[in-house]
């Protein structure tokens, strides 16, 4: 069974990415699995090309640093011909209504749909192509990507119903824990690598002292009867960060 998942270089990898996805990928990887940096997805909004290239290399280094087999990791744009060709075919079976209903399109185009890039509407179809191209049976992602996997399932079923059994219909696999890590400064929102205010975001390559300061300033939130034990959490995270940073630095010179 092939499992496939990706991470978009829209910013530096943060703690939610690590706990909710990357760590799980490394721990549960099989020889049939594939993981990739989805740099084409990061082009759907305004971006700096040089920064995008740097973030792509950085994220590739992080995936290798956590222990994922290098043979199972790739950068999406390295296979742009295959991904783009299948995207077009799937666009021919996807409706405009399906693409427009995607939550992330609504969020990112809220300031003005007329000025939103067309790729922001169609990129869920590209994501479906990413999944279906490799015959993935299971897609381990966070809750925010569940709707996109459901679209991939719908398109696979529709295509198979019209043209014959071509695509594997993928299954969504949500993490048991850490599916949504909250911003330390504003628990009402989730921690995000593209956040404009990084005060509450712990990036995996942050220096350990900075991680301690961010966690030390975290807004205390009751979780049932328990309260976040900040000192213990900071110690555990920063020790893990030290090891990860060292491995990422070694890999960054090789990718």
CB of 90 within 8 A of CB of 133?
Answer: no
Helix (H, G, I), strand (E, B) or coil at 15: helix
Among 106, 108, 157, 242, the active-site one is 108
- Would you call 242 a catalytic residue per the annotation? no
Size of the chain, expressed as the number of residues it contains:
255
Tokens read off for 212: 């301690």
d(CA 92, CA 158): 11
| Phi-psi map region of 67: left, alpha, beta (phi>0 left; psi -120 to 50 alpha) | left
Closest alpha carbon to 173 in 204, 136, 200, 198: 136
Among 106, 157, 193, 242, the active-site one is 193
H or E segment at 173?
Answer: strand 171-173
- Would you call 193 a catalytic residue per the annotation? yes
Scan for tokens 């993981």, then name that residue. Answer: 35
Question: Helices 230-252 and 208-216 meet at what angle, rounded to 10?
Answer: 150
Helix (H, G, I), strand (E, B) or coil at 134: coil
Q: In terms of DSSP bridges, do strands 226-227 and 222-223 run parallel, antiparallel, or are they unpaired? A: antiparallel
Tokens read off for 214: 């961010």
Helix (H, G, I), strand (E, B) or coil at 86: helix
- As annotated, the active-site residues are 108, 190, 193
């Amino acid at each position: 069974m092939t499992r496939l998942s990706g991470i978009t270089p829209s910013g530096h990898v943060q703690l939610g990415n690590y706990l909710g996805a990357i760590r799980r990928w490394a721990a549960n990887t099989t020889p049939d699995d594939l993981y990739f940096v989805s740099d084409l997805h990061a082009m759907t909004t305004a971006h700096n090309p040089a920064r995008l290239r740097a973030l792509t290399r950085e994220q590739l280094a992080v995936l290798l640093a956590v222990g994922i087999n290098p043979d199972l990791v790739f950068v999406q744009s390295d296979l742009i011909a295959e991904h783009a060709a299948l995207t077009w075919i799937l666009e021919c079976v996807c409706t405009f209504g399906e693409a427009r209903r995607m939550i992330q399109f609504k969020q990112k185009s809220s300031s003005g749909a007329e000025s939103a890039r067309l790729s922001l509407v169609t990129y869920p179809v590209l994501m479906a192509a990413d999944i279906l191209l490799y015959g993935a049976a299971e897609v381990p992602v966070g809750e925010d990507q569940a709707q996109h996997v459901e679209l991939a399932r719908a398109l696979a079923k529709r295509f198979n119903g019209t043209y014959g059994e071509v695509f594997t219909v993928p299954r969504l696999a949500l993490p048991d824990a850490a599916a949504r890590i909250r911003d330390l400064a504003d628990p009402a929102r989730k921690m995000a690598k593209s956040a404009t205010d990084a005060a509450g975001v712990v990036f995996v390559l942050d220096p350990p002292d900075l991680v301690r300061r961010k966690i030390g300033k975290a807004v205390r939130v009751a979780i049932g009867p328990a309260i976040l034990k900040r000192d213990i959490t900071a110690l555990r995270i920063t020790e893990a960060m030290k090891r990860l940073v060292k491995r990422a630095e070694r890999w960054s010179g090789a990718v």
